[in-house]
Amino acid sequence: MYRAPVLLRQLEPRTARTTAEVIKFALWPLAVMTVLNRIFIKAVNGFITDDFKPVYNASLAFLNHQPVYTANYNLVDPHYLYPPSGTLLIAPLALIDPEKSRWCFILLNAAAIIVAWYLLLKLFKFTLSSVAAPVLLLAMFSSETVINTLVFTNVNGCVLLAEVAFIMLLLARRDLWAGAILGLSIAVKPTLAPLVLIAAARGQWKVFYTAIGVPVALTAIAWPLSKDADKFFTRTARYLFESRDYFNSAIVGNAAYYGLPLWLTWGIRIIMGIVVAITLWLLYRYYREDELFFVTTCSGVLMTAFFLLSSLGQMYYSMMLFPLLMSVVLRNSVMRNWPAWLAVFGFMSYDKWLSDRWQGFGRNLEYLRITFGWGLLLIVIACVLVDRYLAARREGRLPFGIDPEWMRSAPDSRDAAEDAPRVAEPATAYENTPDKATNGSELLDEPRASALK
């Protein structure tokens, strides 16, 4: 008889007296159920796009000492593009049948994304009991990048974990381990290679020892075990440096699709390259000592530039921008404005803009929103930093940095994570009855009295 009232009492706990607690009670079930849906329903169901099949076939060929790099690049089907070092690492996938292997790969990437979520919380000094935990988890698993990474079944979840681990180890000055994590990622796919520039800017040169050494060592091991390792460099690598006009949201991809002249394509790339260079210079010149802001912002700028300016950029690569997006909690974040989040909507939203009524307009909006989103994000970050620089120069504050004076007392979301404003509770009969020795207002304890004011 005792357990039933206790269980029912949990449906209206008296501990939920702050805004943060109310939000947590609402968001945790939504976040958990969204995660389960993405992993066990959407991902297992799959889609017509299957990034896992060529990976499994290549792993099987590698284990049987057969040619791996045999894809027909004239077709639009997903191709196997990993280097020999990556083939060596993923080869165990083919030790079991394709269906169970795919399920294991889904779980591996889902687990990597969840661990990356936890490490991001730690990086920004949030706990699992903070309101940021369910907010971030729900946002991640509602994004296109996480959904399609799991549905298409590719390795991007593991790459995200490598990025977050690299950032944490870099900030902790554990250079060799940071380089080893980055090297393992590069051994599979070179997405995170631009992040070595952050280590160079911070003078952490030991990162390069393992970031270069690990993929080189793995390639040396894989070479004699592979039937056609040389074909990756003579055939596949050449394809990787070519731009294609399908499933490619980089500038060159959309330019090829819409038939833009070469001079205009290069003009746009050069202008955006200058924007990126100015941004990185301002970050290097004025924010190197603000380590968390510097590293997370630089990582986002470098990754976005890589997706936009290289030969291939796909929407689900945007997963690598989660550290930048999470930096919004910092008081001097470049993400505290609405145009930045309009840009984020462009490349993170799972919404489709294809229209049955306005087919041409809908198709163009759907194809271009990722490219425009990446470009707008880079422009917004540059504008924020340039504006701070010009204001500081006018006011003679450049020797002391470019953050405005008011920013020193601006709210830092991490400070308020555990101490959100309280929600006023209905007064009880006792609280409305004045005591002989006190007036009615004195019956309220000090924190609740502050909230009711």
Residue-wise pLDDT tens digits, 92-150: 999 999 999 999 999 999 999 999 999 999 999 999 999 999 999 999 999 999 999 99
Between residues 297 and 13, the one the model is more confident about: 297
Coil/strand/helix, residue 232: helix
| Euclidean distance between CA atoms 416 and 130, whole angstroms | 10
What is the predicted pLDDT for the residue at 9? 61
What is the predicted pLDDT for the residue at 72? 85
Are the CB atoms for 183 and 168 separated by under 8 Å? no
Residue 415 has pLDDT above 80, yes or no: no
| Euclidean distance between CA atoms 104 and 175, whole angstroms | 31
DSSP secondary structure string for all residues of 161-193:
HHHHHHHHHHHTT-HHHHHHHHHHHHHH-GGGG
CA angle centred on 217, ends 238 and 79, rounded to 5°: 35
Residue 439 has pLDDT above 80, yes or no: no
In this prediction, residue 7 has a pLDDT band, given cuts at 50, 70 and 90, of low
| Euclidean distance between CA atoms 449 and 403, whole angstroms | 36
The residue assigned the tokens 């993400």 is: 335
pLDDT tens figures, 338-349 = 999 999 999 999
Average the pLDDT over each of 3-12, 175-184, 381-390 and give the range with the smallest value.
3-12
Coil/strand/helix, residue 16: coil
Q: How many residues are present in the chain?
A: 453
What is the predicted pLDDT for the residue at 286? 96
| CA 200 to mean position of chain CA atoms | 22
| Euclidean distance between CA atoms 412 and 151, whole angstroms | 36
| Euclidean distance between CA atoms 391 and 54, whole angstroms | 53
What is the predicted pLDDT for the residue at 5? 61
Strand (E) or helix (H) holding 143: none
**CB proximity list for 25: less than 8 A, separation 6 or greater:** 16
DSSP 420: P
The residue assigned the tokens 């007064």 is: 427
Residue 449 has pLDDT above 50, yes or no: no
| Euclidean distance between CA atoms 145 and 320, whole angstroms | 9
Residue 364 has pLDDT above 50, yes or no: yes
Closest by CA to 350, choosing from 140, 41, 103, is 140
Helix axes 156-171, 291-309, angle to 10 degrees: 150
In this prediction, residue 451 has a pLDDT band, given cuts at 50, 70 and 90, of very low
pTM of the model: 0.88
pLDDT tens figures, 310-330 = 999 999 999 999 999 999 999
| Euclidean distance between CA atoms 285 and 260, whole angstroms | 36
**CB proximity list for 282: less than 8 A, separation 6 or greater:** 385, 386, 389, 402
At 267, list the tokens: 């003009």
Q: Exposed/middle/buried for 173, CB within 10 Å: 0-12, 13-18, 19+? A: exposed
What is the predicted pLDDT for the residue at 65? 93
Strand (E) or helix (H) holding 298: helix 291-309
Mean pLDDT of the chain: 88
In this prediction, residue 73 has a pLDDT band, given cuts at 50, 70 and 90, of confident
Average the pLDDT over each of 196-210, 257-271, 380-394, 396-410 and give the range with the smallest value.
396-410
Residue 435 has pLDDT above 60, yes or no: no
Are the CB atoms for 172 and 202 separated by under 8 Å? no
| CA 9 to mean position of chain CA atoms | 39
Closest by CA to 110, choosing from 147, 68, 57, is 147
Average the pLDDT over each of 22-26, 287-291, 365-369, 426-430 and give the range with the smallest value.
426-430
| Euclidean distance between CA atoms 150 and 135, whole angstroms | 20
CA dihedral 214, 215, 216, 218 (to 10 degrees): 90
Q: How many CA atoms lie within 13 A of 360 on its CB side?
A: 1
Q: What percentage of residues in the chain have a pLDDT greater than 70?
A: 87
What is the predicted pLDDT for the residue at 429? 36
Residue 194 has pLDDT above 80, yes or no: yes
Residue 428 has pLDDT above 70, yes or no: no
Q: Average pLDDT, stretch 152-178?
A: 97
- Percent helix, strand and coil across the chain, each rounded to 5? 70, 0, 30
The residue assigned the tokens 């489709």 is: 352
Q: Exposed/middle/buried for 100, CB within 10 Å: 0-12, 13-18, 19+? A: exposed
Residue 226 has pLDDT above 70, yes or no: yes
In this prediction, residue 12 has a pLDDT band, given cuts at 50, 70 and 90, of low
| Euclidean distance between CA atoms 393 and 372, whole angstroms | 31
Between residues 172 and 6, the one the model is more confident about: 172
Between residues 199 and 77, the one the model is more confident about: 199
CA dihedral 104, 105, 106, 108 (to 10 degrees): 90
Helix H segments across 40-131? 44-45, 52-63, 84-90, 98-123
Q: What percentage of residues in the chain have a pLDDT greater than 90?
A: 77
